[in-house]
Amino acid sequence: MIIAVPKETKFKENRVALVPSIVKDLVAKGFSVNVETGAGMNSFFNDEAYKNAGANIITDAQTIYSTADVVLKVNAPQPQEIALMKKEAILVSFMWAATNTELVNACVSAGISAFSMDAVPRISRAQKMDALSSQANLAGYKAVIMCADTLGKIFPMMTTAAGTIKPAKVVIFGAGVAGLQAIATAKRLGAIVEVSDIRPETKEQVQSLGGKFIEVKGDDTIKMEGGYVKGVSEEFLKMQQELVGKHVAEADIVITTALIPGKKAPVLVTEDMVKAMKFGSVILDMAVEQGGNVVGSKLNETIQLNGVTVIGEGNIPSLLPMNASDLYAKNIQTLLYHLADKDGFKWEMEEEITKGSLIVHKGEKRI
């Protein structure tokens, strides 16, 4: 079975789907691996490292796609690249199929099968395949570092001969994987951390990391599915905004992480809340690529709103490409070993992981 790793073409994408150590393991198990020239350079893995691991270096993108049995990517290929794939070939990447009908239709037209890394079910035996968590974990760490670099003051309390510096206050919206890592990182740097999450069960996790939980009483409009919030009423969001507003006004840094799969990100920080913040404070909107949690944030831009710096970086894991690629490669390798061996895919259609992550099967939609 020929596995192909094309170069990522998305704007500001530095990750790569496989790293040399994983290529070496795949080759040892009987797979053939083709890597496009320069595919790993932005992640600091050169062609020589892939060659030494047993990969074939291919200079032409068209050849990479047209000869592959399996294409592994971080971001899905463009429709014109999918059209190059041979019939019944297999794509494994992030797809975000619920909001990307053009991509799904391209897979159907090409007669291929496609597995989406963001659709791998969040069950205990699929933890090593959970690319959403591995990437969000890194993003939560990096988000705090980015804010610390932007803020004009230090995080910890410091007593000096010239006086005492008060600790910075960080407010984090969302205690998922990214939010929890952000809490831990901000606490390690010495900040006071306050956290808002509409799921009351996260309170204990927040407190275990040293954060203060801002409790908003939930109601039956909150819909949960697979560990994600799938829906919430406008009334509840308004109530949350009112309660959290005073905490935001006192914050030096606000980090928002709330996403609803398949839908626009909920607005958590309003224009009035931004106006109430201190001059020189910082907001980082981790949901900016899906519409944003912060009114006024702009994708891949850092802007000023009433003296508040608003960071809208759309691909934070890509800023840590060595670690992000290494973890993603392990996620995708584990999924591949679950689905196939060197002789082909098992196609266990009712098996939970296969059923959850398979978006298109031999040209037929499954969502």
Q: What is the count of structural domains for the chain?
A: 2
Domain identity same for 39 and 116: yes
Domain identity same for 164 and 65: no
Domain identity same for 313 and 330: no
Distance, in Å, from the CA atom of 139 to the CA atom of 320, rounded to the nearest integer, reads 8
Domain identity same for 48 and 149: no
Domain identity same for 164 and 95: no
Any idea what the CATH number is for the domain that residue 96 is in?
3.40.50.720
- Residue 28: predicted pLDDT: 97
Domain identity same for 111 and 148: no
Distance, in Å, from the CA atom of 87 to the CA atom of 81, rounded to the nearest integer, reads 13
Domain identity same for 272 and 349: no
Domain identity same for 144 and 243: yes
Per-residue pLDDT tens over the stretch 284-341: 999 999 999 999 999 999 999 999 999 999 999 999 999 999 999 999 999 999 999 9
Domain identity same for 230 and 285: yes
pLDDT of 249 strictly over 90: yes
Domain identity same for 302 and 189: yes
Stated pTM of the model:
0.92
* Residue 41 belongs to domain spanning: 2-129+320-365
Domain identity same for 254 and 179: yes
Catalytic residue positions, numbered:
122, 127, 130, 133, 228
In which order are the strands placed within the sheet that holds 70-75? 56-58, 32-36, 2-5, 70-75, 90-94, 113-116, 358-361, 364-365
Domain identity same for 189 and 306: yes
Distance, in Å, from the CA atom of 33 to the CA atom of 43, rounded to the nearest integer, reads 18
Query: What mean pLDDT is predicted for residues 248-258?
Result: 96
Per-residue pLDDT tens over the stretch 117-159: 999 999 999 999 999 999 999 999 999 999 999 999 999 999 9
